[in-house]
Structure 1
Amino acid sequence: MESDFDKFIEDIENSRQKFWNEKYPKMSLEEKKRYWLASTHKGMRTQGEAFGDEYSEFSKEWYEFAKEHEPNFDEIFDYVTQNLGFKFDWEEYNKRIKK
């Protein structure tokens, strides 16, 4: 018998899959840029506050996931880093995504 928690987790995963498989592909380039900008800003801020390392959200797996779902990710991420509102450390980022 499935618990309420298991159902909750399943619903989250289904929602996540629906976003990446149905909604995201229909987004315009500008919408995708806004999505990645908001997601990256929030992620870096959250990681920085929680762990004191805003770059801890980046990893090789994260980058592979991003590239899998967005073939133009590098172009979009360049836009993101220019619009975060703070200086982005490309050297630190590249260390994280190559591990």
Structure 2
Amino acid sequence: MKLFVAAAVAAGLLSASPAFASAELAKAKNCMACHAVDKKLVGPSYKEVAAKYAGQADAAAMLVTKVQKGGVGTWGKVPMPPNPQVKDDEAKQLVEWVLSQK
């Protein structure tokens, strides 16, 4: 199915929506190894993250830093490792997508 969708996007038959593109980016950057949209895995679900930071003006910038540099303590004792392979623009796109999961 993914191959069909990718081929359809490439052919111009479908547009790659930001939500689809961000979900694919999250998979490509291995975010989904520890997180899921709607259930806790190693880390919190994206819906939990969106709910926790809803309405906080500085949340996106703080989360971009956390994605790239890691952190510990906000969600318990299990640390989130740093992800230096995630570029600034990718981290911003991922965080915007996570915060939109309501």
Q: Give the TM-score of the pair, scaled to structure 1.
A: 0.31
Higher helix share: 1
